[in-house]
Structure 1
Amino acid sequence: MSSEAFGFERSSVESVVVPVPESTAELAFEGALRPRSLSEFVGQTKVRAQLELLLQAAALQSRTPDHILLAGPPGLGKTTLAMIVAHESDRPLRMSSGPAIQHAGDLAALLSSLVPGEVLFIDEIHRMARSAEEMLYLAMEDFRIDIMVGKGAGATSIPLDLAPFTLVGATTRSGLLPNPLRDRFGFTAHLEFYSDDELAHVISRASRLLELEIDSESLGEIAGRSRGTPRIANRLLRRVRDFSLVNGREGLEAVQAALKLYDVDDLGLDRLDRAVLSTIIQQFGGGPVGLGTLAASVGEEAETIESVAEPFLVRMGLISRTPRGRVATRKAWEHLGIAQRESALFRDGL
């Protein structure tokens, strides 16, 4: 896997003719990797089959597809699937996000500007303002909203008809969605983490699109450290490519050296993950330790620990959540190479 194999000449490192803004390069990279149809989408086999049936049924009946809720951890393809829904339905796509809709007026302006059949994608939909959520109930069911004009006793409700549309909502925390909103989605898809084989397929596809050559051992190494997430796999692929380009090294050795440089270990743990584990073990004897105390000790926000590091550590069996706090498991002690201390926790089999 040489730098030339990645599609670059060594001389290009030394003579740059036109600098490309980093933001433009990132967008071009991500855009090149996004599949444009369900047949190109890797993984999520059951969700793909369900979506294909839903879209085909809507096309046969000449109607807009049902509203769709995509739930799952970050980086598994929720935005990509929303784009595919619009593409396969041959409909325009409008994109927004929950944090950007903080007033009912924001949502009213967005909905009233939709054209018939348009697909509206709202990312992190659970973070919408409550007043906007309540307006969305009527819009999803009857394709209309009520606009309040005036204040106090003289306030008047004016109904406004909307063009039929398909709402695709994405959320990483479906439990925060109110039941009335969740129930109005015709289809809810739960995206799962990818297997190593599926991630190897993702990386292989990305390599072909970017005209890179990468051997099977390197594919497996990157896939095994990607935390079951295609977004991370594609990011690590780019970092390995950069390392090979700059250092002129190739093959599995280059992959391992690049990932070591970026603090990604054999299990895919990064700096924050290892900081959480080592803090629980070294400062608190393996736990239990409360989330607030753990966050203060690591120097991160509690929400960051809970939403970024903890889900993966729990899924890998490295920490356990108990009523008294977080506890490091035997696997965590072994992974960090720290001798286990005999305690009631280990006698209980953690």
Structure 2
Amino acid sequence: MEQETERLVSGAAVTGDTEEQAADAALRPKRLAEFVGQPKVRDQLSLVLAAARMREAAPDHILLSGPPGLGKTTLSMIIANELRVPIRITSGPAIQHAGDLAAILSSLADGEVLFVDEIHRMSRPAEEMLYMAMEDFRVDVIVGKGPGATAIPLELPPFTLVGATTRSGLLPAPLRDRFGFTAHLEFYDAADLEHVVNRSARLLGVRIVAEAAKELAGRSRGTPRIVNRLLRRVRDYAEVKADGTVTLEIARAALDVYEVDERGLDRLDRAVLHALLKLFGGGPVGLSTLAVAVGEESETVEEVAEPFLVREGLLARTPRGRIATAAAWAHFGLSAP
């Protein structure tokens, strides 16, 4: 089964590939002024951080929500840089016991930033401990078991928790209410992504023409992580097949090799739409039937392919099943029945 992290047009971070992770890290902006896009979030966050610096105190806890690849991790690092404090990075799945969280919290320095990615996936006992830590900067460590167990209060230095989530609806209300500032990151428009491409090209030493930058921006699903990934693949193609300069023709040829079309659809996206149009006449068709037709698991079709297709207006979910829209028929040059 094709995993989301293996897709070139996936917004999820690549895990296990140290070279890819190092390339992503090298392209991250370090200051808020360098961060492209998200103007409302940037302005709001700038005020929060400026006020904290004036008070010489840790800012309120910050929750960043939005689809993967839009810059939540980058913003957390920028927050620490702007405050000139260290940052501790962990993730919700890594905190499965209250003791894991207690060990992290007890080792924080005064004013340090604690970044918890996918915070909605923390275990319930750890969440309940986090409530007290966020509000009172204190945790109760349980020593012993049964009737003889005792709670030892442990005072914590003031710190700032930055939580990131792709599914804010799964956060319990008590946890969500303890964040003093909540920001939702939106998909980027093409103009902002062109700025991202040109900035990344300068950092990577890639020569790219304006038309090629616009082409990459248009195929990147509104996601900076994807546009940076496409840029690196197009750079490889330009170095091997040409003189290293990324022109419009080179960009299009490279993206054809990697099966990313002009709307950012890849092999899986097109397979889903092709099956829906050609095999089922545009639907409606059930999810499991559609998944069998493309040779994928139902979860892969529902969680990996469908969100983008629905957002692009190419596919719709109805009580009777999935149906293709008029835009999907037009994309493949077909006439709707």
Give the TM-score normalised by structure 1: 0.88
1:81 to partner: Cα distance:
0.2
1:39 is paired with a residue whose SS is helix
User: What is the one-letter code of the residue matched to 1:159?
Assistant: P
Which of 259, 274, 277 is 2:273 aligned to? 277
Match of 2:26 in 1: 32
1:134 is paired with a residue whose SS is helix
Match of 1:309 in 2: 305
Match of 1:345 in 2: none
1:297 to partner: Cα distance:
3.4
Distance 2:333 2:170 in 1: 38
1:129 to partner: Cα distance:
0.9
1:23 to partner: Cα distance:
4.5
Q: Mark the CA change 1:290 to 1:156 in structure 2 (over 3 Å): closer, same or farther.
A: farther
Distance 2:153 2:289 in 1: 51
Which of 324, 330, 338 is 2:326 aligned to? 330
Match of 2:314 in 1: 318
Distance 1:277 1:207 in 2: 33
User: What is the one-letter code of the residue matched to 1:325?
Assistant: G
1:228-281 deviations in Å (ceiling 9; x for gaps): 000000010111100011111652111101000001001000111112212222
Match of 1:4 in 2: none
User: What is the one-letter code of the residue matched to 2:282?
Assistant: G
Which of 58, 64, 83 is 2:52 aligned to? 58
Distance 2:25 2:56 in 1: 30
Match of 2:213 in 1: 219
Which of 228, 234, 239 is 2:228 aligned to? 234
User: What is the one-letter code of the residue matched to 2:113?
Assistant: V
Distance 2:292 2:62 in 1: 39
Distance 1:117 1:299 in 2: 51
1:38 to partner: Cα distance:
0.5
Q: Which range moved further: 223-232 or 205-214?
A: 205-214
1:120 to partner: Cα distance:
0.5
Which of 56, 74, 80 is 1:80 aligned to? 74
Distance 2:203 2:54 in 1: 33
Which of 284, 287, 295 is 2:283 aligned to? 287
1:136 is paired with a residue whose SS is helix
* Bigger Rg, which one: 1
User: What is the one-letter code of the residue matched to 1:328?
Assistant: A
Q: Mark the CA change 1:32 to 1:141 in structure 2 (over 3 Å): closer, same or farther.
A: same
Distance 1:228 1:165 in 2: 33
Unaligned runs of 5+ in 1: 1-21, 342-350
1:321 is paired with a residue whose SS is strand
1:55 to partner: Cα distance:
0.4
Match of 2:83 in 1: 89
Unaligned runs of 5+ in 2: 1-15
Distance 2:161 2:290 in 1: 39
Distance 2:242 2:98 in 1: 55
User: What is the one-letter code of the residue matched to 2:119?
Assistant: I
Q: Mark the CA change 1:304 to 1:186 in structure 2 (over 3 Å): closer, same or farther.
A: farther
Match of 1:11 in 2: none
Which of 122, 125, 144 is 1:131 aligned to? 125
1:265-310 deviations in Å (ceiling 9; x for gaps): 0100011111221222233322223334333433334333333322
User: What is the one-letter code of the residue matched to 1:322?
Assistant: T
Q: Which range moved further: 201-210 or 280-289?
A: 280-289
Match of 2:3 in 1: none
CA RMSD between the two structures: 1.6
Q: Which range moved further: 289-298 or 50-59?
A: 289-298
Q: Which range moved further: 107-116 or 22-31?
A: 22-31
1:170 is paired with a residue whose SS is strand
1:35 to partner: Cα distance:
0.3
Check if 1:267 corresponds to 2:289.
no
Distance 1:99 1:196 in 2: 33
User: What is the one-letter code of the residue matched to 2:200?
Assistant: A
Which of 204, 208, 219 is 1:210 aligned to? 204
Match of 1:248 in 2: 242
User: What is the one-letter code of the residue matched to 1:303?
Assistant: E
1:285 is paired with a residue whose SS is coil
Q: Which range moved further: 33-42 or 318-327?
A: 318-327
2:24 is paired with a residue whose SS is helix
Distance 2:302 2:57 in 1: 41
